[in-house]
Amino acid sequence: AAADPYATALRTGRGPLFLRRADGWLLPLEVERWCGRADLVDLAVLDRCEGSVLDVGCGPGRLVAELAARGRTVLGIDVSDAAVAHTTGLGGPVLRRSVFEVLPGEGRWDTVLLMDGNIGIGGDPAALLGRVAALLRPGGLLIAETAPVDIDERAQVEVVDVTTGLGDMTAGPDDMTAGPDGMTAGPGTRGTPFPWARLGTPALLRHARVAGLRRVAQWGAGGRCFAALRTRHASSAAEP
């Protein structure tokens, strides 16, 4: 655990940190933003949350801490000890738990958050969205952040701290599938490989329909993309 580059980055609050695909392509991770306070884009998302909120893959806990400070009923879950410790340090309620394990309040959460690319958890968006639908109350709200490109990708990845040996750094954070001149991983500390997925909004909506979720809004802000969806048993109240 002491060699885990993700844990190290959370403890220091700094990168550089990347997701590395098996073929060497890199996706930069925004460690500094995640470890900071909720920014204006985050706050606008939190303003849309309803009732009790479950933050799936809460990371270092900036959103959980902000909602707790507002007096909201909120719980963060994450599989990383470092993420749980950071969230606790901010005063946010958190459990070290996978979304696919038994959770408090199953079927009664008003809002579930999948932020910062967490639609990729488990590498199987259909299974994840089905699980989220089961966690939500009838008519509950899912707010998911999607990739800012039209993509529907599954990959085996690992978290890497690449401080030396970077290749030609021409791929941006929105392009994990860059061409031959993209970013490639050189020497550095690497974590354990795990399955991941990346979805743009069109792909999210396709998978959501199968899971019984319907779109109620989608928007972009600060170069980030979001979609809000509800379970199909929504009340007749007007959408905000």
What pLDDT does residue 55 have? 98
Q: Residue 239: left (phi > 0), alpha (psi -120 to 50), or beta? A: beta
pLDDT in tens, 120-158: 999 999 999 999 999 999 999 999 999 999 999 999 999
**CATH number of the domain residue 170 falls in:** 3.40.50.150
pLDDT at 165 over 50: no
In a domain, 82, yes or no: yes
DSSP symbol at 149: S
Between residues 9 and 182, which one has the greater pLDDT? 9
Q: How confident is the model at residue 163 (pLDDT cuts 50, 70, 90)?
A: low
In a domain, 183, yes or no: yes
Q: How confident is the model at residue 188 (pLDDT cuts 50, 70, 90)?
A: low
Rounded to an integer, what distance in angstroms lies between the CA atom of residue 172 and that of residue 224?
13
What pLDDT does residue 4 have? 87
Residues 38, 58 contacting (CB under 8 angstroms)? no
Provide the domain limits for residue 113: 5-231
In a domain, 239, yes or no: no
